[in-house]
């Protein structure tokens, strides 16, 4: 009975702090969000962003354009790391171990927002420390 209560409390904390996590995020949930700086436009407009990540580490990159993401894909792979699609609105970037420097990649996402809908390309410049 105590184990069931602990599980419910843990689930409530996850739901309360990050929204309901899909099952596909269970493994990636241990990866923190990257330190980001982004200029996000409306759907149908391209955006850019900057992230900081430590060499050999991973972080989650949620698509931050307001509204609903209906589809997404990697449109430019990184040279010094790996980029993995976790779900339609979240990607996981893993920097190459022992590499320090910069990396660039891009994600193409389609969605519907309060003001516009369309497809956007989000280019991310990573600083690997």
pLDDT tens digits, one per residue of 85-119: 999 999 999 999 999 999 999 999 999 999 899 99
- Mind listing the pLDDT tens digit for each residue in 5-42? 333 333 232 333 333 233 333 333 446 666 777 777 88
Q: Within this chain, do residues 20 and 43 fall inside the same structural domain, yes or no?
A: no
Is the confidence at residue 3, as pLDDT, over 60? no
The answer on 69 and 25 residing in a single domain is no
- What would the two tokens of residue 26 be? 């269970």
Residues 36 and 97 in one domain: yes
* One domain for residues 62 and 22: no
Are residues 105 and 65 both part of a single domain?
A: yes
The pLDDT value given to residue 27: 36
In this structure, the strands spanning 68-76 and 101-112 are: antiparallel
**What per-residue confidence (pLDDT) applies to 38?**
72
CB 107 within 8 A of CB 35: no
Are residues 35 and 24 part of one domain? Answer: no
The answer to whether residues 93 and 58 touch, using CB atoms and an 8 Å cutoff, is yes
**Within 10 A of 2 (CB to CB), how many other CB atoms are there?**
6
**Structural domain of 122:** 31-128
Across the range 60-87, mean pLDDT stands at 95
Same domain, 39 and 72: yes
Q: Are residues 1 and 19 in the same domain?
A: yes
The reported pLDDT for the residue numbered 31 is 61
**Strand locations in 1-129, DSSP E?**
35-39, 47-53, 58-62, 68-76, 81-87, 90-95, 101-112, 117-128
Tally the domains of the chain.
2
- Look at residue 86 in the predicted model and tell me its pLDDT: 97
Residues 55 and 13 in one domain: no
3-class secondary-structure state, position 40:
coil
Domain with residue 111: its CATH number is 2.60.40.10
- Rounded to whole angstroms, the Cα distance separating 9 from 29 reads 17
* Alpha carbon distance 116, 99 (integer Å): 39
> What average pLDDT does this structure show over 113-127?
94
Look at the pTM and tell me if it is higher than 0.85: no
Same domain, yes or no, for 26 and 65?
no
Of residues 122 and 5, more confidence is placed in 122
């Amino acid at each position: 009975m105590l184990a069931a209560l602990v599980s419910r409390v843990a689930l409530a904390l996850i739901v309360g702090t990050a929204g309901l996590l899909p099952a596909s995020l269970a493994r990636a949930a241990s990866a923190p969000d990257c330190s980001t700086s982004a200029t996000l436009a409306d759907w149908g407009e391209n955006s850019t962003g900057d992230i900081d990540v430590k060499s050999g580490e991973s972080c989650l990159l949620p698509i931050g354009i307001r509204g609903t993401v209906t589809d997404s894909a990697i449109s430019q792979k990184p040279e010094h790391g790996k980029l993995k699609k976790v779900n339609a609105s979240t990607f996981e970037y893993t920097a190459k171990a022992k590499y320090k420097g910069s990396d660039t990649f891009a994600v193409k996402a389609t969605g519907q927002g309060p003001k516009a809908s369309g497809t956007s390309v989000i280019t991310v410049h990573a600083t690997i420390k």
